[in-house]
Structure 1
Amino acid sequence: MKRFLVSLVVAGCCILPLTSYASDDIYNMSIESAMKLMPEKVKNQLGDFKFYFGKDSKPLTSSVVGTIHTSNRTNGVLKSYQKSCNWAFYSALIDLEKQAKAMDGKGVANIESNWKNNPTSSNETYVCANGLMMSGVALKGDVIK
């Protein structure tokens, strides 16, 4: 029993310092860079589906049929924050596409970051939170026809 308690205390002392690294670092990541680095399998999955970033980015000839949200995380262990943030971004785009197609949408416009329900609109960057184990991206946008 004494050995078990000593082991428990030692394990706690080893894990405790990691909690200081557990907070999220917030990054503004380049949309253009992420799109250029997008793997072929993701490009093929998204096809010709349209994404328009930033406020008032909806094409004049389209109409809004609803608003959608997504929040995606990916494993960030042994990856650079750029790589894991981009993967979370790709997952978010795929999720937006699926939701929009379920509403018979042809694209998503006015896309903005929405990390922890804090909207940030930009046509150049998206917000990514990177922690010790995970990276996350939250987006919202308007489904258009």
Structure 2
Amino acid sequence: MKKAMLTMVLAASAVAATLPAVAADRQMMMPIEGAMNVNDAKGRLGDTVKFYFGDQKTPKVASKITSDSTSQKTNSVGKSPEEACNWAFLSAMLALKKKAESVGANAVVNIVSNYKHKEMSSQTEFECHDGNIVSGVALKAEFVKLAD
């Protein structure tokens, strides 16, 4: 009896190991304005660094400093896809702000989504990938000093 039970358990384990893992990865386009209006995003980002998305018109650029990217994830368990994506977006924006401050930039321009190194440019939306456990936002941008 024990041997038969062990054989069944081993067989079930072998079958389970061959099945593909079911992991969600839903690509979502989310409104930037919506993300900026929750989680105290505007307050947390402050006004010392200006942000410009896609090909959004900017004031005159005095100097280009550098470019960089960030990929931020958040726990999506118990959150709606919108909530999780907005948190990941805010984390990515805070990372861009921190980089801008560290290199002496007063603006971040040409911000584009860059999930898995695939650029998507928009003035109004960002790309988020929502999973069963984790949601993520990747952004790429240029850091500049705007003319006074």
Task: Please state which band the TM-score falls in when normalised by the shorter chain.
Answer: 0.7 to 0.9
Please tell me the residue identity of whatever aligns with 2:142: D
CA distance in 2, matches of 1:87, 1:142: 22
Taking only the aligned residue pairs, the percentage that are identical comes to: 41
Q: What is the alpha-carbon root mean square deviation over aligned residues?
A: 2.6
The answer for the alignment partner of 1:60 in structure 2 is 60
Query: In 2, are the aligned partners of 1:58 and 1:110 still within 8 Å (CA)?
Result: no
Q: Relative to structure 1, is the Cα distance of residues 87 and 7 closer, same or farther in structure 2, using a 3 angstrom cutoff?
A: farther
Please tell me the residue identity of whatever aligns with 1:138: A
Q: Relative to structure 1, is the Cα distance of residues 4 and 133 closer, same or farther in structure 2, using a 3 angstrom cutoff?
A: farther
Gaps of 5+ in 2: none
Gaps of 5+ in 1: none
1:44 and 2:43 equivalent? Answer: yes
Query: In 1, are the aligned partners of 2:61 and 2:144 still within 8 Å (CA)?
Result: no
Deviation at residue 78 of structure 1 after TM alignment: 1.4
Please tell me the residue identity of whatever aligns with 2:129: A
CA distance in 1, matches of 2:10, 2:127: 41
Number of residue pairs matched? 140
TM-score (norm 2): 0.82
In proportion to residue count, which structure has more helix? 1
TM-score (norm 1): 0.83
Please tell me the residue identity of whatever aligns with 2:46: G
